[in-house]
Structure 1
């Protein structure tokens, strides 16, 4: 990695990201059962039926984990709070949960780390799921109550907050494709989840504004979609994939509209008077976060709507099988600013790769990760040079963790974790970043 801090504007923040269920250990601290506990307990849903009940025991090891953030010379730590920990039944506050995030916040500040919170990274309490989860419009108000409970306690010390991580995963991946909890394949449930997740986002922003909070944002995940060939049909399906994955959520929050090509499929299944919710959904935010990893080649499959398929691409791939396509990050930074957010600050809130990292003689060499980071930061610098207001770059992830349906096989961390002993070992990429980010 050739970059240093001097290659970026004054005040540009570098950070690392994690999420609660993936690292904390859901069995600790009075947390309630969440949808991922049940999803993982269902045969065939996750690799080796693995779950996050212990994860990497961040609940007890957060002090030493934050020492790694500080020693890596990172400015920001993007973490998530767990609804199921704060409110085990979805409604009643668990004092142990509030106390944990209170301690975690103070520990960050004691190390000079900026706390960047996400309110929801997919750990829906089971009692909320039993009431319909994201299919039920009332979830927006329940989520606002949760927002008030946790941010009344720690909101005064947050550097930034975003309500929901990757709404596409919350809605489409989980309700249409069935790959994530709750594992549905239901177009009607999908249409409602696609809308209600943004309504909950808006209600949470309003709730935090009422608490006097600032520096509030929205975080979306993005995949660049290219046609698999030169046919008009492939171009049409790539545009539809782009609409479902990217433009639906940006359009809802920043324009108060959904893409027409997506409504052709979801429109008949949308909740009544959904258009009336846009004043809430478009509640102004202070920044926009982009989670970016890869691109997809898209073509038609001849089936029912959306009638598209992914085609394997020719580029170098990560252990997840994702193409490494740094140009996509540049494309999204420039397009988002020019078509949706204008001068609003943009933050790359997640970027990283999975690789088969192993310890040899006490060290972990991960050259593919270092090259990945360097290439994507070149895309960030290119966008900044063109006047795009990019204000930060956060890596996924601080350490190896529970990677959802993939279990513990995929290692995204800058820090290696032995999942038997839970011993942490910083990888070569971590050491390079620590050196390059030295002030």
Structure 2
């Protein structure tokens, strides 16, 4: 039996294992609203592998890199997407949030690969064939290397180039898309700005050295990548890029909602004269206005930040932490759903909610706590339309490489065999309990 055949069978066996898991005593829950979406999320670069024409691939492989590992083959989801869909379906999910990769579709400026568009058409068709609504992200942080070499999102015509890509991609794929967002966490540069005071000078210097090395390696006057760029130089262009991309995507084909997913960390005020309102404005800028001109908002909380009159309040000793190094605080999900309901009348989706944990019992507790937060918000009359966990697979976690594990499913990085964790079985039962 060939290695490829063996790993395919291993993946299929993993998928069927969820259905065979020992039954857990049913918990009485009222059903979720009709049409509620249970899902998992993933991104193209973090799972597909060998995204060699992207800015991130270059940065990961520089001698001066700040990335712990190169992405390499990742989870090989580029070839094994059907296994991933099968596992998602076996959990009881009815949607799957994933992305296309701009660097594959447009590897050189204005040169669109029909072969790659055909590939993603097959991916979308397979997603639907597995009974999963495809929720598509057009850009999840990465961009083509040529785009980064000319200045990335700092260049005035960057919105036009992104809209051109969204137009071409939608014309090829639009009739298969269920929902979409132009960007993942469109305000991610503003979160980086918020967190800037706690990033050490040494870490900032290392990032600057890496970007300078990328510019030298590509002989480009200004290499710029979204996770390392000056937020003040790119946020206005990202807002305009979303506006133009929204128009391009809505032109069709297809008739599906196009919204915005935001990094929505819980911002809490401590004491009198807290600077929390200023921090909140810094985190969101003009993005709530953009939400109100779009079709929905996706909230994506992972932690909370507390501020008094002097600034960020440190966590007290003994605060429970996740394996990603921030506070274990699933209640952030309920806080940001309520915040979003105050900011917009647009439909609210939980498009990411996850925990980095090596002890899977903590992931099970996280799922219980987060779904309970969604249920409380529903009981309060807030219309929440989904709970989408990050992530289906343990995958490439940007500068942390493969050292953080968010997945419901572990992946052997040599054989690519997928093994559902107990949390995957638990999630499946949770969904069944609320059917």
> TM-score band, normalised by the shorter chain?
0.7 to 0.9
Pick the aligned partner of 2:294 from 285, 293, 297: 285
Q: Distance in 1 between matches of 2:268 and 2:378?
A: 24
Instruction: Report what 1:380 is aligned to.
Output: 374
Q: Which runs of no fewer than 5 residues in structure 1 stay unpaired?
A: 255-281, 302-307, 358-365
RMSD: 2.5
Q: Which residue of 1 aligns with 2:233?
A: 192
> Do residues 244 (structure 1) and 286 (structure 2) align?
no
Q: How does 1:87-236 map to 2 (within 5 A)?
A: 87-170=106-189, 173=192, 182=225, 189-212=230-253, 213-227=255-269, 230=271, 232=273, 235-236=274-275
**Corresponding residue number in structure 2 for 1:432:** 426
Distance 1:92-1:55 versus aligned 2 partners, 3 A rule: same
Residue 39 of structure 1, CA deviation: 1.8
The alignment's TM-score, normalised by the length of structure 2, stands at: 0.81
Determine whether 1:415 maps to 2:434. no
Shift of 1:20: 0.2
Deviation of 1:85 (Å): 1.0
Aligned length: 383
Deviation at 1:150, TM superposition (A): 1.2
d(CA) in 1 for partners of 2:29, 2:104? 37
- Please give the per-residue CA displacement for 1:137-196, whole angstroms capped at 9, x wherever unaligned: 21111111110111111111111011100123256539977679738876xx42131111
CA contact (8 A) 1:214 1:286 kept: no
Identify unmatched segments of 5+ residues in structure 2. Answer: 1-23, 212-223
Contact 1:83 1:90 in 2 (8 A): no
- Once the two structures are superposed, residues 38-61 of structure 1 have per-residue CA deviations (whole angstroms, 9 ceiling, x without a partner) of 22123464443x122311111111
Shift of 1:126: 1.2
Correspondence for 1:12 = 36
CA distance 1:171–1:61, change in 2 (3 Å): same
> 1: distance between equivalents of 2:152 and 2:383?
36
Per the alignment, in what secondary structure is the counterpart of residue 77 of structure 1? strand
Q: 347, 350, 357: which one pairs with 1:348?
A: 350
Tell which deviates more after alignment, 213-222 or 14-23: 213-222
Other-structure match for 2:220: none
Following TM superposition, by how much is the alpha carbon of 1:231 offset from its aligned partner in structure 2, in angstroms?
5.8
Query: Could you tell me whether the CA contact under 8 Å between 2:141 and 2:226 is conserved in 1?
Result: no
Distance 2:66 2:406 in 1: 17
TM-score, normalised relative to structure 1:
0.81
Tell me the residue number matched to 1:402. 396
The answer as to 2:74 corresponding to 1:80 is no
Deviation at 1:346, TM superposition (A): 0.6
C-alpha contact (below 8 Å) 1:4/1:437 kept by paired residues: no
- Report the CA distance shift for 1:185/1:402 in structure 2 as closer, same or farther (over 3 A): closer
Distance 1:44 1:309 in 2: 31
CA separation in 2, counterparts of 1:239 and 1:295? Answer: 14
Task: Give CA-to-partner distance per residue, 1:384-437, whole Å, 9 cap, x none.
Answer: 111111111100000100000000000000001122332211000101122332
Could you tell me how far 1:327 is from its partner in structure 2? 2.7
Distance 1:216 1:285 in 2: 6
Are 2:57 and 1:22 aligned? Answer: no
- Note if contact 2:272-2:309 (Cα within 8 Å) is conserved in structure 1: no
Larger relative contact order, structure 1 or 2 (CA cutoff 8 Å, min sep 6): 2
Q: Shift of the alpha carbon at 1:252?
A: 3.7
